[in-house]
Structure 1
């Protein structure tokens, strides 16, 4: 395979993003991928030429790549977007595409898109001149976060502690006639000095780290002196990150999530997420994981037959599509018969899945709705090692602890010890599984309680 990385700067190691570009080249070499780093503004973009692919770089013809990874992020300008659209129309696979990069480069547009999908975000206002301080205080309160619409690595973000400080900033901006576009955000106190960067690749969480400020400030960015530690996101947080990536149509993204009193809120999304701190915290080869995903999905991308989403595949398999599910609801005006009809179909689908998995291949109809649906789900399976983030190891450990605890609880009785002593030893033994659950890094109890609190608040 042959690919390109679009990067707007010279490869000067002093530029913070350059070591990450080198990491991509290193991982590509190990995977046998020919990967070139090219600057967007050195292309000659001519529309209306004859043929499917006529492109020049530095005045010389350049061969069509199999894929392009854009690492321009928030610095993506109009020329780069135009170039990406040109590649897209010429059938080049883009990771990520121009439309979603343009959306994510604008922080307000990103939040508007997420809010429209019903995902939780901090309450946000667009800054206007003259600044109405009373409106800001009424809608957002103080402290308030002030951000530029475009920015990265924590730049262009500050906190005004009170009304007086905010008035000073507003007066400074107006006196300097700095009519810059900016947004104002409600300050999420529960997440002061910490957040979680969740890396999503191909619709899956492959790594996460909690970022913490070491100075007591509200910014937690590793690039600003914060520290990153490996983090196993609770299911609710992981699902929120995946939903954000799906809504924004990002193949690769870093979703920044804040801790809220009632759960979590999405702070930002990044189309070219930095990963140096993430690699140090988790030990994951991030470029290798990304390129492995590109390789594993390249055929489907070239055939322009993207794998269906899990929810769509399940709906097809169980109900014959979403129209089939709607037909069930149309035929059953009351909840109980509707629930029964859904349950029957789910049981039937479960039996079909067991048949697919246990019967000899010659007796299984691979083209049945169940067979097609299962294969759609199977082909979307993870292509990277997610052992550090899923619960399989924890579940296995819990089963071992539980089995040993039960045996230890029964043993005193079998040995004929005194009832009081046997009872105390049994209680102590059975406390170990409870201790495992309460101290689990996946946050089983915490995640469940936050979900219940959120549900009760709706």
Structure 2
């Protein structure tokens, strides 16, 4: 091993700030692009003592030959060979399944949108009758708002099924979920590191846009002012809940998304995202750069592997 840290990534632009922070700190790392990667399952040597996953669940939008399931197998192998894999195979298994995320969150006694899980478009109407309209149909593996459609009525859903325009998920699993009117149109994303609160932002999006990715690269093509992002100070009970979710999901670094149901004021947690690109223009929004804390965490992981 010639490096202390290996970073597996998919998107070529999202991690420039992370690489810059590592360079400033003099961390010996190698960045490997997943599209060009292969591994030998009989090779017992991981590439470095510490591995960081930067696998985006939205990668299927950019490449038909995405690496979501490949990365899960790769990280399981490297972990078995002794590497400390940050956001490894167990985390990907949760990150790639909104159904598993909701089960985990509900199991902690926290609020989630009323949901039914199906694996065939033909089963959507029966699930919809249990949920009621308006509702959304959501792909189990999504990202950047992909695979989410709102339906106002049973007739509209039936027509979509007949036209074969309902969402599709790369794993064939779909969620039928009540439409939650978010208070003030705001979703709060609570970022965690090592199971602890790092920062939070309120994300405000016009109309029914479901693409609320806060990173710089996600802004491309939207036009100015498409979404609003401000620093948030969530109530302690929301922070505590997000930390509990992160620990239960074994999430090393990642965001938990929650909205306040405008109908009754209850918190509804609905998404666990293990790919924290962090907020665009963090110095403007937060007043500090969370990449520095992430590098602290990585350096501590490297030091622990040396002892």
TM-score by length of 1: 0.56
CA contact (8 A) 2:127 2:176 kept: no
Higher helix share: 1
CA distance in 2, matches of 1:201, 1:281: 18
Look up the match of 1:272: 275
Look up the match of 1:441: none
Indicate yes or no: 2:258 matched with 1:254.
Answer: no
Structure 2: gaps spanning 5 or more residues: 60-66
Indicate yes or no: 2:114 matched with 1:99.
Answer: no
Report the count of equivalent residues: 282
CA contact (8 A) 1:114 1:121 kept: yes
Calculate the aligned-residue CA RMSD, in Å: 2.7
Look up the match of 1:388: none
CA contact (8 A) 2:186 2:202 kept: yes
CA contact (8 A) 2:192 2:254 kept: yes
CA distance in 2, matches of 1:295, 1:26: 15
**Cα shift at 1:67:** 1.6
**Cα shift at 1:30:** 1.6
CA contact (8 A) 1:107 1:150 kept: yes
**Cα shift at 1:269:** 0.6
Indicate yes or no: 2:189 matched with 1:197.
Answer: yes
CA contact (8 A) 2:105 2:245 kept: yes
CA distance in 1, matches of 2:97, 2:152: 25
Q: Secondary structure at the match of 2:123?
A: coil
Higher strand share: 2
Within the candidate set 173, 176, 182, 1:181 is matched to 173
Look up the match of 1:209: 201
Within the candidate set 78, 83, 86, 1:87 is matched to 78
Look up the match of 1:124: 115
CA contact (8 A) 2:15 2:277 kept: no
Within the candidate set 39, 58, 61, 1:45 is matched to 39
**Cα shift at 1:191:** 4.0
Matches within 5 A, 1:362-377: none
Change (3 A) 1:40 1:155: same
Q: Secondary structure at the match of 1:130?
A: helix
TM-score by length of 2: 0.82
Q: Secondary structure at the match of 1:272?
A: coil
**Cα shift at 1:192:** 6.6
Look up the match of 2:153: 162
CA contact (8 A) 2:197 2:239 kept: yes
Within the candidate set 286, 290, 295, 1:291 is matched to 295
Indicate yes or no: 2:53 matched with 1:70.
Answer: yes
Look up the match of 1:389: none
CA contact (8 A) 1:5 1:71 kept: yes
Look up the match of 1:368: none
**Cα shift at 1:176:** 12
CA contact (8 A) 1:209 1:228 kept: yes
CA distance in 2, matches of 1:298, 1:84: 17
**Cα shift at 1:242:** 0.4
**Cα shift at 1:72:** 1.0
Structure 1: gaps spanning 5 or more residues: 12-17, 56-63, 304-458
CA contact (8 A) 1:5 1:36 kept: yes
Indicate yes or no: 2:5 matched with 1:8.
Answer: no
Pick 1 or 2: higher relative contact order, CA cutoff 8 A, min separation 6.
Answer: 2
CA contact (8 A) 2:192 2:198 kept: yes
Look up the match of 2:246: 245
CA distance in 2, matches of 1:98, 1:159: 32
CA contact (8 A) 2:49 2:82 kept: no
